[in-house]
Each structure stands twice: as C-alpha cells, then as structure tokens.
Amino acid sequence: MNAVTPQRAAAPAPVGLLAELTHRCPLRCPYCSNPLELDRRSRELDTATWQRVLTEASDLGVLHVHLSGGEPTARQDIVEITQTCAKLGLYSNLITSGVGGALDKLQALYDVGLDHVQLSVQGVDAANAEKIGGLKNAQPQKMAFAEKVVALGLPLTLNSVIHRGNIHEVEGFIDLAVKMGAKRLEVAHTQYYGWAYVNRAALMPNKAQVDQSIRIVEAARERLKGQLVIDLVVPDYYAKYPKACAGGWGRKLMNVTPQGKVLPCHAAETIPNLEFWYVTDHSLAEIWSDSPAFTAYRGTDWMQEPCRSCDRREKDWGGCRCQALALAGDAAATDPACSLSPLHAKVRALAVEEAAENPPDYVYRTIGSNVRSPLKEEAKL
C-alpha cells in the first residue's frame, strides 16, 4: 500500500474543477482573466484525456465541474465531455458567451444532462456590450441563447463583469436578469490580473461609482428576495480586506488549462518559478497533493507579516497571490488590496488616479498575437 504523504493528508479534497477546454473564443473582452499567452488549438487535450481527467476528479471528491474557456462550445466534443460529467454524477456548469455555435449545441447538451448555464453579458445596451466584447451582433445571439436555456428549464446565471465602461448599467443588468428569467446574477467588479491588468486604466471605475453600484445591488436584493439571487464581487482596490482568492490557494479548486497544465488559480502562470504539473504526466490526485505549484502557498506557513499574525489569515488566506505579485513584486506578500498591507495606500491612490483620467482605448486580445507582459514592463508600486 502506498504511504500517504503528510501533505496529501493535510490537503482537503477539492470541490470544484475548472475545465478550460479551449482558449478559442469569439469575444475579445478587455478584462479576460485567461493568461497572456493563450494555448493554440493544436495543443488542446483530446476527448479521451478530458474524460480520464473528469473520472479522476470524481474519484478525488470533486462535486462541480465548470466547463469553461475561451468558449467551451467551440470544442466539437463538448457534448461528449458533458455527458461524461453526467455519467460520473458531477454537477456540470457551462460557462459560455452564448455566441458562435453555443445555441446550436444547447439542446444536445441538455439531452445528455447538462445541469446549469452561466452566460456572460458584457452590457445591457447592445452597442456598448458589443464594443466591450469586441464582436458585432453578439447581443441578439446572447438573448436568443438565454431564452432557449430558460425554455428548456435549465437554471440560468447571468455573469456581468463590471468596470467603468458599464458600471452605469448595473440597474439594467438586474432588470435584464429578471426579464430573462435568470435565477442568479453575478455583479462581479473586474479583478485586475490577466488581460484586465493590461487594460486597468481603461476599466477602473471611481469610488463613487463603485459605492453607487453596491447600493443598487443591496436595494435590489431586498426587492427581489425569492426571485433573483445577486452575487456581488467588490473591486479589490477599493475593499478593506481582500477576498479569499480561488477559495484559498490549493484548498477548493483545480484549474486545468486547454493543454492540461493544472493551476491553483486562473492567473497562477504569471508567478515566475512556480512548477506546474500536467495531467498528461501525473494523476489529478498526485497534482493536488504534491505538485509544487499547489503546495507553494497552501495553508499559512508561507505567510509574511502582517498576514502571519493576522486573525483573518484562515478567512481570506492572505488574498490573491497573483495580485500580490503584480502590485508588490512578491507573490508571498500580503495582497496590497488589504488595508493592512503597507502598500495599500499606494494601491488606492493608483486606482483613484487612473479612474480620474480619461479612459484609454481597450487593448483587445486575439489568440497568437504578440503579447507584451505588463508585469515585465511596468514598475511595481
């Protein structure tokens, strides 16, 4: 019998698997949280490997699988992959833009047992939404897709990423969710890593706008009790304490990239010198318990002050490692979004300064474009 390593025994089972089936996507959102270097189609895992990964996830104790991307319905085998989730008893959530071939595949996805749909909406006004997503005629496709989801009886969540280009539409997003028959709405202020870090000045709202958006959500929650659940993600730069990013590093989630690299969070590849393991070389259980990337910031041993002696250290787990790297130049630092970080005042000042200036144009992303890493080019705080 194999000996159980102390690390494996200490790691709680993951509850969720984010399966990034492809980075291909018809949209070009300026806040995309995918890495700066996107995986090409030729490097994507094949169907059998994804099915094996899902089986291992189920054995490991995973309950939810988020079928994501890019646009997951761009995969020819999305129906087979979804069916595998259903056979394994994994709750499947399709995270989709609702454009491209999404509508055509929806009935088949429903037939094989898809459990839930999360649809991204970039704006309420079609012209504004299509400018943000960088795709003409996207809005009517999204509306038709949402209509069909609800007609099939599938639970629908709308996901709206909020920034200075659509923060005036928060009330509109709520009305839209009600009109569409969504069960849940995510009002998620942009988190500034991945491509959003490149576009930070174009996306950063001011404090008054953020406060107003929070008031609107709180009033709507009261008004729509029992009808619509509204999740609110407050922008880090204006928060008092950071969020427990990814539910705490290596505690709840595994993120498998299109080519099979397993990450503790979406943006982990921005952290230099982390060693990531691939599903093609290791089982998911091995990766979860022993991969250097997962053990690097799991728990609290790696923490510096003020986190090390803070009584919130097992609540937010020190915030976001990727943001700490981006802003403080050290992934093990206290997330500067935290008011207890020595860098917090500078972060707040930066947000205020960027929100006060006229927004620059969005920098849109495309697969294979020559990407300049802002983390290499920009001075830290």
The residues that touch ligand SF4, with contacts defined as CB under 6 A, are: 241-242, 306-307, 310, 312-313, 316, 318-319, 334-335, 338, 340
Binders of ligand FES: how many residues, by CB under 6 A?
11
| Residues β-bridged to residue 68 | 20
Return the C-alpha torsion angle 217, 222, 226, 230, nearest 10.
10
| Residues listed for the chain | 381
Distances in Å between the Cα of 316 and the Cα atoms of 131, 152, 243, 246, 324 are 35, 38, 6, 10, 13
User: Is there a binding annotation on residue 25?
Assistant: yes
By DSSP bridging, strand 184-189 and strand 16-20 are unpaired
Q: How many degrees, rounded to 5, is the angle at CA 126 between CA 125 and CA 132?
A: 95
Interaction with ligand FES in 52-111: which residues (CB under 6 A)?
none
Is residue 267 a contact point for ligand FES (CB under 6 A)?
Answer: yes
The binder of 322, among ligand SF4, ligand FES, none, by C-beta within 5 to 8 A per type, is ligand FES
Please tell me whether residue 320 binds ligand FES under the rule CB under 6 A.
yes
DSSP letter for each residue of 60-80: HT--EEEEESS-GGGSTTHHH
C-alpha 236/C-alpha 190 separation (Å) is 9
At its nearest, how many Å lie between ligand FES and the CB of residue 141?
A: 29
Q: Does 193 bind ligand FES (CB under 6 A)?
A: yes
Nearer Cβ to ligand FES (187/271): 271
Closest by alpha carbon to 198, among 376, 41, 6, 11? 376
Q: Is 347 in the site for ligand FES (CB under 6 A)?
A: no
Q: Tell whether residue 266 is a contact of ligand FES (CB under 6 A).
A: yes
Q: Are 141 and 162 in contact (CB under 8 A)?
A: no
- Told to check if 298 binds ligand FES by CB under 6 A, we report no
Closest contact distance (angstroms) between CB of 198 and ligand SF4 is 25
Judged by beta carbon distances under 5 to 8 A according to partner kind, the member of ligand FES, ligand SF4, none in contact with residue 312 is ligand SF4
Nearest distance, CB of residue 30 and ligand FES, angstroms = 17
Q: How far apart are CA 326 and CA 192, in angstroms?
A: 9
**Residue 25 or 310 having the CB closest to ligand SF4:** 310
Question: Which partner from the list ligand SF4, ligand FES, none does 266 bind, CB cut-off 5 to 8 Å by kind?
Answer: ligand FES
State which of positions 228-257 bind ligand FES (CB under 6 A): 245-246
Q: Give the CA-trace dihedral at 342, 380, 265, 286, to 10 degrees.
A: -90
Residue 66 is which amino acid?
H
Q: How far is the CB of 240 from ligand SF4 (least distance, A)?
A: 8
| Residues forming the site for ligand FES (CB under 6 A) | 193, 245-246, 265-268, 320-323
Binding positions: 25, 29, 32
